[in-house]
Structure 1
Amino acid sequence: MNTDIENLKLKYDKPFDGNHSVLQPKVNEIAFEDIISEMLERQKRANNIMISNLDEANSNTKDDLTSVKLILKDLNVDVDNIKMNRIRKPNQQRPRLVKVILKNPEDAITVLKSRRNVKMPSIKNFQDQTKKQIQYYKDIKNELQHLIDNGDHTKTIRYINNKPTIVTRMNQKNY
């Protein structure tokens, strides 16, 4: 009986075709590879921030770099060795996003923490996120919207340990 149980475990751990040859890696191995890939991608993006609404009408890369340095200098970030580029195709309706690559993750965190101190109100900056992070946020946002549509207006999204989470809204009093 123990032998039969062990054979069944082996059978379901490895997918087989009719000839008992392995077709593909185990599901756990695929999930593990996805997790490792996601971690590496997030680590690559740790130094990056994205800036939106930076005007690009009649601008070139040099003008963009000057504007980005001006924004970052107000936030007390070292701007000597930054790199930047516009992403996506040009669009007449709105300016493209600007991807800024900073020297280290600490500078990126400093910019993100002090984003409210940007002197140009239309300029927004945010973290460079992977597709899975963006999809996760969309899913959380849809779940929150579903709760609101069902009459629960006590919930909101807060970042807990850098992860968007639905939490109960705190009543804020203006003192």
Structure 2
Amino acid sequence: MSDFQCSPTTLNADQFTLLMSKLNEISNDIAVIKTTQLTLQSDLTECKSILEKHSSELLRLDKTLTGHSHSISQHDLDIASCSSRIDRLTDSQNSLKVVVDSASHRLSKVESLQQGILTNNRTTPSLQPSELLDRLRRSHNILIRGVPETGAEEDLSSVSSILDCVLPDANNQCVSVARIGKSSTDRPRILKVSFSNSVIVNKILRNKALIKSVPDYHRIIISDDKTPLQVKELDSLREELRRRRGAGESGIDIKYISGTPTITKTDHTARSRN
């Protein structure tokens, strides 16, 4: 699915049932882990008991060491085996801790996703076929702002250099480079770069921050090619974000979920920009 296609943001009955099923599975996994821990603790106690038993037997057999050398050797093997089991149990305890931490993290992610869905009350309108087709067509493009305007050959060279910094393989799938918008003496026109597929566009957008590490390109801005309706929706969403922040709500930002910009809770200060 394209990052720019809209998808429903509310749970239907099947999705909610699946979500609860996953929560139950995780809860059952934790219960199994706890039971296993109790079993391992019992095994550890048993091993300690065996060690004490063999130590006692070794003391009693000390006076007849020569005649019972075989038994002592056997006990030594048993002690080594128990020590190995203790080591394995220790490793298992550490592994179980990792599993418990992982399960707790999965629960947190599910709860976070559920909260994000419940707090997102925006309804995505039905899209006209023409809008869907326009979004599909634009999903093969990126827009580059801030490149000085000199000529077509220079534009091709500049785009190639920029792509080398962000995603070198993208040059092989570049289809066309063109300036869009009206000419102006104040600022260069936007460069529209088209590619053979939307996958390479998504990769470029994910890596676009790399361009900021190149001194010559620190003013370059790379973004997706939005339809007018997408621009309007994003502007409305930003206005809603400003209003909610102005009302004192904190810890919220705009993020793209399944290609749809959404106001959601965030635990970091970095803002998503596309």
Which residue of 1 is the match for residue 152 of structure 2?
61
Aligned residues: 139
Which residue of 2 is the match for residue 169 of structure 1?
266
- Runs (4 or more) in structure 1 with deviation over 3 Å come to none
Distance 2:228 2:176 in 1: 22
Distance 1:106 1:151 in 2: 39
Distance 1:154 1:107 in 2: 32
Which residue of 2 is the match for residue 76 of structure 1?
168
Contact 1:77 1:111 (8 Å CA) reproduced: no
Higher-helix-fraction structure: 2
Distance 2:155 2:187 in 1: 15
Contact 1:77 1:110 (8 Å CA) reproduced: no
Match of 2:239 among 128, 136, 142: 142
Match of 1:112 among 197, 205, 217: 205
SS in structure 1 opposite 2:134? helix
Which residue of 1 is the match for residue 224 of structure 2?
127
Distance 2:128 2:169 in 1: 32
Contact 1:53 1:122 (8 Å CA) reproduced: yes
Higher relative contact order (CA 8 A, sep 6+): 2
The offset of 1:171, in angstroms, is 4.1
Which residue of 1 is the match for residue 254 of structure 2?
157
SS in structure 1 opposite 2:255? strand
Bigger Cα displacement from structure 2, 68-77 vs 40-49: 68-77
Higher-strand-fraction structure: 1
Gaps of 5+ in 1: 1-30
Aligned AA for 2:155?
D
Distance 1:122 1:104 in 2: 27
Distance 2:170 2:258 in 1: 26
Aligned AA for 1:66?
S
Which residue of 1 is the match for residue 117 of structure 2?
none
SS in structure 1 opposite 2:169? coil
Check 1:99–1:171 CA distance in 2 against 1; reply closer, same or farther (3 A cut): closer
Aligned AA for 2:168?
N
TM-score normalised per structure 1: 0.73
State the Cα deviation string for residues 114-170 of structure 1 (Å, max 9, x = none).
Answer: 101123221111111111111110010000111122122332111111111111231
Gaps of 5+ in 2: 1-124, 270-274
Aligned AA for 2:230?
Q
SS in structure 1 opposite 2:202? helix
Contact 1:52 1:123 (8 Å CA) reproduced: yes
RMSD: 1.8
